[in-house]
Amino acid sequence: MHTGRTIQMHQQGYTLLEMLVVVALVSIVLAIGVSSYSGLTQRVTAQNQAEQFRGLIRDGATLAASRSLNLTLNVASGTASLKNGTTTLRSARVNSISTGLTSAQTIAFDNTGRVVLPGSTSSLTVTVNGRNRVLQVSGIGQTRWQQ
């Protein structure tokens, strides 16, 4: 006999369709986030390498003057190396930037710390993240990015 009460069924958990929608949305958000993060890390790496290259120029002038050495800074195979003859004193990876130097060109530092850029110029055009930036270099190794 029916007493007039209705039996209510309570749903517990999620349906398969709801789970698939959630998984699809999470996948889309993660795909966007990963691609943005990848681009960000590449830009930051290039900026860090540009600053390390700039630091090698300053270090070259300082080391040359303080130790009375004739030094060179050259770029080969994605590495900038500060050398005294064949001995590498410092180096930095520069594979994510274009330093404006070819493998045949060097920056020279005399034993007083004076800097001589290739072609007797006072600046280098460094390409960072697809953008050319001009690095001004003084005769005593002071550097600054031209605005």
Q: pLDDT 10s digit of each residue in the chain, 147 long?
A: 556 666 666 667 888 999 999 999 999 998 888 888 888 888 899 999 999 999 999 999 999 999 999 999 999 888 999 999 999 999 999 998 998 888 888 999 999 999 998 887 889 999 998 889 999 999 888 999 986
The predicted structure's pLDDT at residue 51: 93
The predicted structure's pLDDT at residue 40: 86
Separation of alpha carbons 92 and 123, rounded Å = 20
- pLDDT > 70 in the chain, percent: 92
Strand extents, DSSP E, 47-130: 71-76, 79-84, 87-93, 97-98, 106-109, 115-116, 123-128
Cα distances (Å, whole numbers) of residue 3 to 6, 7, 8: 9, 11, 14
Average pLDDT, the chain: 88
**Domain segments of the chain: what residues?**
16-145
pTM of the model: 0.76
82 and 59 in contact (C-beta within 8 Å)? Answer: yes
Helix (H) / strand (E) element for 54: namely helix 16-67
**CATH 3.40.50.300 matches 16-145:** no
